[in-house]
Amino acid sequence: MMKLVVLISGRGSNLQAILDAQLPVEIAAVISNRPDAAGLDLARARGIPALALDHKQYASREAFDNALIGVIDRYQPELVVLAGYLRILGDSFVMHYAGRLMNIHPSLLPSFPGLDTHARALAEGVKIHGCTVHFVTPMLDHGPIIVQAAVPVHSNDTAATLAARVLAAEHCVYPKAIAWFAQGRLLLLDNGQVNLRDDSGSEQTLFISGSLP
Ligand code: GRF
């Protein structure tokens, strides 16, 4: 079974969705940069090794990233999954896991990289919002897009109602993307795009839209 390590910083609802999906993967460890992350308890409750590596204990980003690599690599994961991991990773960390580091971002990238995506989407008056699962590259919230889910924006939405709708979509697509990776179905093309290989071996472009809550 493919081994993965999940990095979190907080409540861990995406982690929970990944666990609930009962994918044919071994979640070797869950690691948080914040010792109080609720997601750590979730992992422990399922018997998964859950560790905190407090970034505040390290003098520099590089020192922390190197320590994190050391802990992750003890588990020899084939994939590292960022699930609400709210700390910027340095270039050497990202390059160390090139092609096997996945992130979920709560917007339809390349729109709204960074923080406060839902409030910014409302301020722009967009009619469609959503989330993106992508491979991580050194540029923040960029990188080859694996799958996106779109949700409608309603005229009476607040950042909170919109966030909840997007989060439900996140919980659908992240387990799917991980399953595709585990099945060897994600093709990273030379042009930086990702295609999904279907069961017959041909390729198809990904797009999931619309009818999510
Ligand atoms: C999610 O919206 C994710 O897209 C973003 O941070 C949030 C984490 O939520 N990167 P959770 O910890 O998975 O509940």
Q: Whose CA is nearest to atom 2 of ligand 1?
A: 106
pLDDT of residue 213: 38
Per residue in 55-99, pLDDT (tens digit) is 999 999 999 999 999 999 999 999 999 999 999 999 999 999 999
105 flagged as catalytic: yes
Tell me the whole-structure pTM to 2 decimals.
Answer: 0.94
pLDDT of residue 208: 53
Q: Whose CA is nearest to atom 10 of ligand 1?
A: 84
User: Which regions of the chain are under pLDDT 70?
Assistant: 199-213
170 exposed, middle or buried (CB, 10 Å; 0-12, 13-18, 19+)?
buried
Can you tell me the distance from the alpha carbon of 146 to that of 180, in angstroms, rounded to the nearest whole number?
9
Contact residues of ligand 1, CB 6 A cut-off? 8, 10-14, 83-84, 104-106, 167, 170
Ligand 1 centroid from CA 199, angstroms: 31
pLDDT of residue 36: 97
The label of the residue with tokens 């992992």 reads 43
pLDDT of residue 201: 55
pLDDT of residue 198: 78
CB of 143 closer than 8 Å to CB of 136: yes
